[in-house]
Amino acid sequence: MEPRESPPSASGLSLPGRIAVALTVGAVAVGALLHLGMVFLSVAPSNTLSKEHATAVDDYVYPEFEQNWKLFAPDPLQQNVHIQARAQVAKPGGSQETTGWVDLTASDIATMRHNPLPSHANQNELRRAWGYYTDTHNDQEQGTAGLGSELSATYLQRIVQDRFGSHLNGGTVVRVQVRCATTAVPQPSWVAGASATTTQYRVLPWWVVDTGASQQGAAS
């Protein structure tokens, strides 16, 4: 029976090899500690350290390492929220056409389904844009956060414009409109007083297309 060979160890490496291994292990350890520290500060209660380095923490965490604990909340989300949009198209002869409502959220979901590495744009862009808008506007679509309200509306509008493009159905997109369709998730049959599953709509005003932004997006 032949003697079993012992696995190679770092002690058998040359001095430069041992230095390279040590540096690699140290870099991995520092990187892991940095990552854990940043994520911890992003989810920990507000404190002096997280306030002082809030910008750096947010720049590192979002959007790739965002932590969303709503699944484990005492009252998790119980609604399906779909963002839909339609466009008004000006035809060459002077007529105008209004498209039907397009379910942008359903499109993102279809793109992510069966995709092991879905894009963060498909996962978060539209959802976070709508959340940003609702956080800065009341139910009458009036801004409540000054410049933040204007930025949130512009951000949402440009996402919709990008989805439709500048030309559609043989014409030019001149206006877009957004609505949110909210449907309660059906309660289990054994729950008393199950909530209704009718869809509620929040319809925003028409927005005139920013042709400069559309041309910039098309050029890029």
**What is the residue extent of each domain of the chain?**
12-67, 77-187+195-219
Largest CA distance in the chain: 92
**What single-letter amino acid sits at 78?**
Q
185 Cβ contact list (under 8 Å, min separation 6): 78, 79, 80, 197
Kindly tell me if the per-residue pLDDT of 78 is higher than 70.
Answer: yes
Q: Is the CB of residue 207 less than 8 Å from the CB of residue 175?
A: yes
* Helix count and strand count (H, E) for the chain: 8, 7
Asked if omega into 188 is within 30° of 0 (cis), the reply is no
pLDDT tier, 218 (very low <50, low <70, confident <90, very high otherwise): very low
Q: Is the CB of residue 127 less than 8 Å from the CB of residue 133?
A: no
Q: Which two tokens stand for residue 65?
A: 């390492």
Judged by average pLDDT, the poorest of 3-17, 46-60, 107-121, 188-202 is: 3-17
Q: What is the pLDDT of residues 79-97, one digit of tens each?
A: 899 999 999 999 998 999 9
Does pTM top 0.75 for this prediction?
Answer: no
β-strands 171-184, 167-168: how paired?
Answer: antiparallel
Radius of gyration of the chain (CA): 25
**What single-letter amino acid sits at 12?**
G
The b/e string for 94-116 (b: 16+ C-beta within 10 A; e otherwise) is: eeeeebebeebbeebeeeeeeee
CA–CA separation, 144 vs 135, rounded Å? 8
Q: Is the CB of residue 97 less than 8 Å from the CB of residue 88?
A: yes
For every residue of 160-207, DSSP letters joined together read HHHHH-SEETTEEEEEEEEEEEEEEPPPPTTSTTPPP--EEEEEPPPE
In this predicted model, which residue has the larger pLDDT, 26 or 71?
Answer: 26
What's the chain's average pLDDT? 85
The predicted structure's pLDDT at residue 131: 93
Residues 61-74 have a mean pLDDT of 69
